């Protein structure tokens, strides 16, 4: 009913708007007064976490994209090797697992059969399984050794939005916690990032306040057939997530690429007026990555692409090459997906509406996929 949607036309719009609160709620009570993490609810003793020698993440769809981002954070802050695998592929390749492997299963519903079968397989091999889940008492956390709940509240729209942002927060917390427990050379950085996380809900709120031009842009692209998405580093999974949202909601051909792969094939797709969304990494320190993506934008634009550039406030170098510029607040590199994903959700939702599609219940999809 209209009341359930809180005055919004769709649950998806309501859930997009709820993201600052969902993010804040997922952090609540997990950072103590001294700026350390208190994740006692993760019932795997620190002694066991110190002996882990590998992390394996299993998930599907949007949760898999959260896992891809988690890999960057876990490897950086803990120096533990981390693999991310589609849950549906995992057990069929006879993965290498043992008691020193920490498996993280990410699932909004907690009922996804592919993810459940992957975690059962991991436990049979003696691995410890930590679930990141949004649904209290669901099957995946019940069958795991430990669970870190995301506090997004019920997500009704089939297309995942607030659950994704809270999965990211939970993944950062786990990565930082592992770093804290195991002790790494990044102690100062870990403390600084914990501080930055505490104010990240405000940054998400800020993005939400600037979405009207994104909606307008989406409407103007309603008759297009294809949209491409490019990113690097943590911007790469963000590009994949932007493309998935567009497939699910707008039924458009959408693909995400790592921008460095362009020259290995996808650049052949670029033609006059093709919309290409580019997620630009932080301009701070002018990293090598940053310069490379700016030259990617120049390359595709020279070939006629209509560039839709998502870049930090204050990043002026991209301005000459952006046909459309979407600004996001400055964040630490690894946290950028929390703000960069939001315009892509709004973009897909508005395109779906403009194309006359059912936003909350896209064709052929179910909210939780309980078959393999
Ligand atoms: C996201 O928009 C999708 N509807 C889908 O990819 C989803 O993320 C996937 O099915 C995993 O679901 P889960 O998080 O409930 O396990």
ipTM: 0.98
Q: How far is the CA of 131 from the centre of ligand 1 (A)?
A: 15
Is residue 139 within 8 Å of 111, Cβ to Cβ? Answer: yes
Region 282-290 average pLDDT:
75
* Residue with CA at minimum distance from ligand 1 atom 8: 62
Distances (CA, A) of 303 to 239, 254, 325, 336: 20, 19, 19, 28
Residue 115 and residue 305: Cα distance in Å, rounded? Answer: 38
Alpha carbons within 13 A on the beta-carbon side of 367? 16
**CA separation for the pair 283, 266 (Å, rounded):** 25
Count of CB atoms situated within 10 Å of the CB of 231: 27
The DSSP-derived string for 35-53 is S-B--TTS-S-HHHHHH--
- 284 vs 318, more confident: 318
Query: Residues 74-101: what's their mean pLDDT?
Result: 95
CA 105 to chain centroid, in Å, comes to: 15
Residue with tokens 């650049």: 267
For residue 168, the CA-to-ligand 1 centroid distance in Å is 14
pLDDT exceeds cutoff 70 at 73:
yes
Q: Please tell me the distance from the alpha carbon of residue 177 to that of residue 179, in angstroms, as a whole number.
A: 5
What is the chain's mean pLDDT, rounded?
Answer: 94
204 lines ligand 1 (CB under 6 A): no
The answer to whether residue 190 scores a pLDDT higher than 90 is: no
Which atom of ligand 1 has the smallest separation from the CA of 115? 16
Share of the chain above pLDDT 90, in %: 85
Beta carbons of 133 and 110 less than 8 angstroms apart: yes
At residue 285, the pLDDT reads 57
* Residues making up the chain, counted from first to last: 372
Distance (Å) from CA 192 to ligand 1 centroid: 31
Tell me how far the alpha carbon of residue 257 is from its chain's centroid.
Answer: 15
CA–CA distance from 308 to each of 41, 65, 348 (Å)? 42, 21, 14
Helices and strands (H and E) in the chain: how many: 14, 10
């Amino acid at each position: 009913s209209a009341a359930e949607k809180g005055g919004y036309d769709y649950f998806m719009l309501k859930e997009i708007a709820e993201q600052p609160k969902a993010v804040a709620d997922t952090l609540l009570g997990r950072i103590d007064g001294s700026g350390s993490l208190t994740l006692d609810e993760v019932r795997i003793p620190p002694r066991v976490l110190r002996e882990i020698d590998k992390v394996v993440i299993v998930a599907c769809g949007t949760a898999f994209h959260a896992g891809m981002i988690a890999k960057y954070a876990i490897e950086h802050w803990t120096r533990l090797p981390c693999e991310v695998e589609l849950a549906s592929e995992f057990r069929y390749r006879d993965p290498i697992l043992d008691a020193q492997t920490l498996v993280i299963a990410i699932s909004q519903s907690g009922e996804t059969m592919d993810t459940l079968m992957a975690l059962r397989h991991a436990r049979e091999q003696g691995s410890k399984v930590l679930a990141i889940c949004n649904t209290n008492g669901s099957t995946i956390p019940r069958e795991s050794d430990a669970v870190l709940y995301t506090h997004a509240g019920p997500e009704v729209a089939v297309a995942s939005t607030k659950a994704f942002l809270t999965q990211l927060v939970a993944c950062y917390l786990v990565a930082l916690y592992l770093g804290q427990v195991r002790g790494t050379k990044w102690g100062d950085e870990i403390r600084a990032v914990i501080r930055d996380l505490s104010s990240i809900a405000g940054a998400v709120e800020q993005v939400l306040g600037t979405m009207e031009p994104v909606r307008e842009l989406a409407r103007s692209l309603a008759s297009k057939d294809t949209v491409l998405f490019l990113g690097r580093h943590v911007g790469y999974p963000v590009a994949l997530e932007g493309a998935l949202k567009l497939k699910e909601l707008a039924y458009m051909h959408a693909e995400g690429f790592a921008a460095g792969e362009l020259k290995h094939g996808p650049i052949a797709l670029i033609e006059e007026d093709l919309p290409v969304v580019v997620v630009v990494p932080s301009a701070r320190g002018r990293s090598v990555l940053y310069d490379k993506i700016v030259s990617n934008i120049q390359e595709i634009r020279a070939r006629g692409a209509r560039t839709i550039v998502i870049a930090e406030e204050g990043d002026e170098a991209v301005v000459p090459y952006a046909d459309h510029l979407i600004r996001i607040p400055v964040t630490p590199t690894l946290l950028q997906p929390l703000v960069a994903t939001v315009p892509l959700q709004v973009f897909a939702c508005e395109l779906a509406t403009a194309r006359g599609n059912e936003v909350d219940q896209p064709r052929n999809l179910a909210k939780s996929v309980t078959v393999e």
